[in-house]
Structure 1
Amino acid sequence: MKQLSLFPEWEDETAKSSINNYDERQRIETKFSHLIQEELKLGKLVSYISNKSLPILGLYRYKEAFAFSFVEEFIKRFQLTNKDLIFEPFCGMGTTPFTAMHANIKAVAIDKLPIAAFIANTMPLFWLVEPSSLHHNFELLQNKLRQFSPADVASDVAIMKKAFSPETLTELCQWKTAIETLSSPIKDIFLLLFLSILEPCSYTAKDGQFLRIKKDKKIYSPTEILQQKIYQAEQDIFSMRTLWGNKKRQLPQIQLADARDLKNVQFSQKPTAIITSPPYPNRYDYTRIYSLELCFNFVKNFEELKELRFSVLRSHIESKVQDNDTPNHPVIAEIVDILRQQGKVLNNPRIPDMLVGYFVDMSLVIKEWSRVLTSGAKVAMVVDNVRFAGELVPVDLILSEMAEKVGFKVEKIIVARYKGNSSQQMGKYGRIPVRESIVIWQKN
């Protein structure tokens, strides 16, 4: 069955490009060239690095986030006030809603990945607790830790069988049970800190798009490192109140939801801005990178983990492409045709399917944004162009052209930094940098 295109006016163009081998990438680069401008000073802000030095945001290592100061910058550029509502459809660790809270701006944020939605929901809760209560509750739980039975976790997932020594796993599971006896918001804060210690207590390391086993790695004692995290959190609460004041703030609304379908997302008013960064089509599988956290609290077994893996935005190579999924943009049709038909050597043959699925999904996302945003609403979205077998994929331009088709004006495409490719890519195809961009759109 032929898929009904969200952009039927491109169907003839897509077919034409396949027949005549028309260079669609040259066309789209030429079309948007006058809107592309460099602001390389923003390069540091599209990374999570500066968050590590800020209170609360440095407690959990979510390296795919952008910076608190990035959100501040675009709140200022968009001239947002407490009359506005910021929507963050890919909230990750929640930098956008956390920053909006400090700016006294209402925010709604969602994520399909449950660990992300949980972190984003928990970060603002640190405002609600007294620092001394963390240490007090830690001591109470530690004194009777051995009395707690180990919690059930998704132990049938392969990485869980390799990640921990038996003694460490037992201790971690006892802490999980102990934390469940607390009441919110202390319970949520303790659970966040607990999830943050899983990697240092394991033989794993988050390494690019994988969670790798490193048997020679130093392993930390769960109780000792959790105590360190409690101390760090206490200091962060003091620092946060010193840095940002102690006045009450309106907590953002965080929901577990899918950006491709916003019908069940509750908004108190139509959003006036989006500040976000979706997953990049770069093969990163967040259900693998954060599999330890997911297995300890969010999935019961491998089947649930696999179901989640196939339900998130299709930016990784295990994404399933349906029979009726076809390239929905002429540039993607051109690239996929080259990768599939011209004998390109790919390090994974599923990359063309991933690209098709990703842009089908993102077209649904953008259409939903057009539906829920108020007229004149602004969008600032960080995206990363990618390159496979030497073929550059101009993600920023493709998504911008999709946005035009559903009622957005592309105001500018800001190049925040240029990124190199893997040494294998550069060895075969040369050192051609790719853009990491911030696309700025306005809803007509």
Structure 2
Amino acid sequence: MADKLTTNEALTRSLVSFQGNKKQPFYRWLKYKEAFSSDFVRLILDRYAPKGGVVFDPFAGSGTALFASVQEGHVATGTELLPIGIAVAAARAAAQRVKLDKMVEARRNLASLMVGPGKPLRHLRMTKGAFSESNDAAIASYRGAVSRIRDKDVKCLLHFAGLCVLEESSFTRKDGQYLRWDYRSGKNVDSKFHKGVIKTFAEAVGSKLDEMIEDIAGRKEGVPMDVAINQESFFSYGLKMPKASVDLVVTSPPYCNRYDYTRTYALELLYLDYTDADVSALRQSLLTATVENRPKMEALRSLFAEHDEDTRFAEILETYESVGALHEVVAILEQAATDGSLNNPNIPRMVRNYFFEMAIAISNLSRITKRGAKVVMVNDNVRYFGEEVPVDLILSAMAERLGFSLEGIWVLPRGKGNSSQQMGAHGRTEIRKCVYIWKRR
């Protein structure tokens, strides 16, 4: 299988990350760092999508694959559990319908939205102190005023503008697995981190509305922006979709890297009125990628049984247990955890559950794709205790047992460096960043 690894010089980190969207109209509104670029999606569509074909993304995120697909004349749908992706879809649809003069008027009257009654923010445990008192009050007033706007499209876009600027008007910065706190917050007095200018919420929203109005003014008539992003796990949704109904899958699942979306996007979840209990439930429903995720195997077994898919579940379990490279890595990590050499003893459990759940996802993709359809997946390898986990080879081995053939694995010319902690203990080495191409047999 290693002979399928080929360096693709056309791939850059900007192309397969959010960086490529930072200046793209509409895509630039929300800083969703886990996305790939719309240009990457178009590259894949040109190669693999039949004209007017059905494109699906089971981990839709902010919807880049879906929006780029409908703009190129395809039918697109996907699933995403984070409510942020649902908010993006609603805003993009509203942006196509909204009257420009109504948005300009709302921008002109922005100051009036920052005063008056508003429901105080019901902070999560991990967001307390994220805003200055003045910004906290401004957000509450703004949300209250926006909720009273009659024009549904204007209301949607104003609400979304507020969602987009929370980080820049807070004492926090998204930093990998968590929110990093500026020392001015007083939350962590030992921290010397200084994020730079912290805007007032009014300044941040004003700038965002200017950007949105600029893009709306330049919109092209007749270019669709409506996509269907279902707020449901692909584990369950994939069992309900029609068999052999998808022509192309373009996706990037969560990586096996301890990245907790519910912490990284805690401010956005707060803004969307999620409670601590809601956030905890959401974290457990997401694909396992953090040490806090509990095993889902028995719940998934019951789910498959409800759909009379016991035989397929057994096939998935057999596939998962058959991949020797996975279990070799897990054994090394378990020994390191036993020795106390691993910085978190739950990492082996997380790795096991990640790959089992990805086997479920791959099997569901095999169920819904047409014969000859391609699955294009962006993912990174990871490293723990100096041990590289060959995610690309493990997932591709599973895919070959679950109905796909491996067309190839494109390796980015520039890989990803290991963390400073691992660099000190194990030296500086790169790990592969890859794009997998699987073909439905």
TM-score (norm 1): 0.86
CA shift for structure 1 position 344: 6.3
State the SS of the aligned residue for 1:284. coil
State the SS of the aligned residue for 1:117. helix
- Write the distance in 2 (CA, Å) between the matches of 1:59 and 1:250: 14
Residues 44-94 of structure 1: per-residue CA shift (max 9 Å, x gap)? 311111201111111110111111100000000104311x00001111111
- Contact conserved, 2:89 with 2:227, CA < 8 A, in 1? no
CA 1:263–1:91: 2 relative to 1, 3 Å: closer
CA shift for structure 1 position 353: 1.3
Superposed structure 1 runs of 4+ greater than 3 Å apart: 138-142, 263-269, 322-329
Unmatched 5+ residue regions in structure 1? 1-31
State the SS of the aligned residue for 1:374. strand
| Number of the residue aligned with 2:75 | 106
Residues 371-400 of structure 1: per-residue CA shift (max 9 Å, x gap)? 111222111000100010111101111111
| Number of the residue aligned with 2:295 | 321
- Contact conserved, 2:82 with 2:231, CA < 8 A, in 1? yes
Q: 1:305 aligns with which of 252, 257, 279?
A: 279
State the SS of the aligned residue for 2:61. coil
Q: Which amino acid aligns with 1:273?
A: L
Q: 1:184 aligns with which of 148, 152, 173?
A: 152
- Contact conserved, 2:96 with 2:225, CA < 8 A, in 1? no
- Write the distance in 2 (CA, Å) between the matches of 1:161 and 1:197: 17
**Which moved further from structure 2: 94-103 or 343-352?**
343-352
- Contact conserved, 1:271 with 1:374, CA < 8 A, in 2? yes
Q: 1:48 aligns with which of 15, 18, 25?
A: 18
| Number of the residue aligned with 1:364 | 360
- Contact conserved, 1:162 with 1:213, CA < 8 A, in 2? no
Q: Which amino acid aligns with 2:422?
A: Q
Aligned length: 405
- Write the distance in 2 (CA, Å) between the matches of 1:164 and 1:79: 45
CA 1:263–1:323: 2 relative to 1, 3 Å: closer
CA 1:145–1:205: 2 relative to 1, 3 Å: closer
CA 1:344–1:330: 2 relative to 1, 3 Å: farther
CA shift for structure 1 position 324: 6.6
CA shift for structure 1 position 312: 0.8
State the SS of the aligned residue for 1:380. strand
State the SS of the aligned residue for 2:32. coil
CA RMSD of aligned residues (A): 2.2
State the SS of the aligned residue for 2:344. coil
Q: Which amino acid aligns with 2:142?
A: W
- Write the distance in 1 (CA, Å) between the matches of 2:247 and 2:212: 33
CA shift for structure 1 position 238: 3.0
- Write the distance in 1 (CA, Å) between the matches of 2:243 and 2:73: 15
Q: 1:60 aligns with which of 4, 13, 30?
A: 30
| Number of the residue aligned with 1:130 | 99
Unmatched 5+ residue regions in structure 2? 185-193, 300-316
CA shift for structure 1 position 158: 2.0
| Number of the residue aligned with 1:18 | none
State the SS of the aligned residue for 1:108. strand
Q: Which amino acid aligns with 2:127?
A: M
- Contact conserved, 1:94 with 1:121, CA < 8 A, in 2? no
Q: 1:233 aligns with which of 209, 212, 225?
A: 212
CA 1:135–1:265: 2 relative to 1, 3 Å: farther
CA 1:133–1:203: 2 relative to 1, 3 Å: same
> Percent identity among equivalent residues?
34
| Number of the residue aligned with 1:424 | 421
Q: 1:437 aligns with which of 420, 434, 439?
A: 434
Q: Which amino acid aligns with 2:84?
A: I
TM-score (norm 2): 0.86
CA shift for structure 1 position 219: 2.2
Q: 2:257 aligns with which of 278, 282, 286?
A: 282
Matches within 5 A, 1:379-418: 379-416=375-412, 417-418=414-415
**Which moved further from structure 2: 85-94 or 73-82?**
73-82
CA 1:403–1:144: 2 relative to 1, 3 Å: closer
Residues 339-395 of structure 1: per-residue CA shift (max 9 Å, x gap)? 112536222222111101111111111111111112221110001000101111011
